[in-house]
Amino acid sequence: MNRAEKADSIGDLNSRFASAESVVVAQYPGLSVRDMQDLRAKARLVGVDIKVAKNRLVNLAIAGTPYAGLATMLKGQNAFAFGADPVAAAKVVANYAKDNQKLVVIGGGMKENVLNKAGVEALAKLPSLNELRGRIVGVLMAPATKLARVLQTPAGDLARVLHAKSQQA
């Protein structure tokens, strides 16, 4: 890799770190190419991008970003998961690491907050942004649904009484 390619790679990584809501750092010794492709495919489905880069380049790229605290995790072969949703990256990597022992979660971050492995796993257990939105819509819709049901009950009772009276006659 020549200097121009390295500069482009550092610029690309810097923009990824600057725009990500969360980043997960994982080591992947012995992970096959097929497994890495599978992880990337699962990550893409939820809007997470997986990037493998040399630690030296990442160290240069995180300078000046909220993720500068991740420098202590840059040892060994690392893969980085970038997510626009704060929990999506943690959820994808942690779930994949459960099934494949060759992928090991090291830590991560949410902007200036550096997370250890336990923090990433706790973040993975939280509901995603879309799940939270669905719950909020459900909570907001529940009173309207109950009100409609209460208002329909007297009319239904009246209809049943009239039907019963018509059957008697």
Contact predicate 78/108, CB 8 Å:
no
For strand 22-27 and strand 104-110, is the pairing parallel, antiparallel, or unpaired? antiparallel
Q: How far apart are the first and last CA of the chain?
A: 95
Residue 158 pLDDT: 66
Q: CATH for 3-126? A: 3.30.70.1730
Query: Quick check: helix, strand or coil at residue 156?
Result: helix
Contact predicate 120/90, CB 8 Å:
yes
Residue 33 pLDDT: 92
Residue 58 pLDDT: 93
Residue 147 pLDDT: 65
Q: Which two tokens stand for residue 3?
A: 């200097």
Question: pLDDT 10s per residue in the chain (169 long)?
Answer: 788 888 999 999 999 998 889 999 999 998 899 999 999 999 999 999 999 999 999 999 998 888 988 999 999 899 999 998 889 999 999 999 998 889 999 999 998 899 999 999 998 888 877 787 888 887 777 777 776 776 777 767 767 777 887 888 6
Domain-wise residue ranges, the chain: 3-126, 127-169
Q: What is the CA radius of gyration of the chain?
A: 25
Contact predicate 45/89, CB 8 Å:
no
Q: How many other C-beta atoms are found inside a 10 Å radius of the C-beta of residue 32? A: 11
CA 40 to chain CA mean position, Å = 13
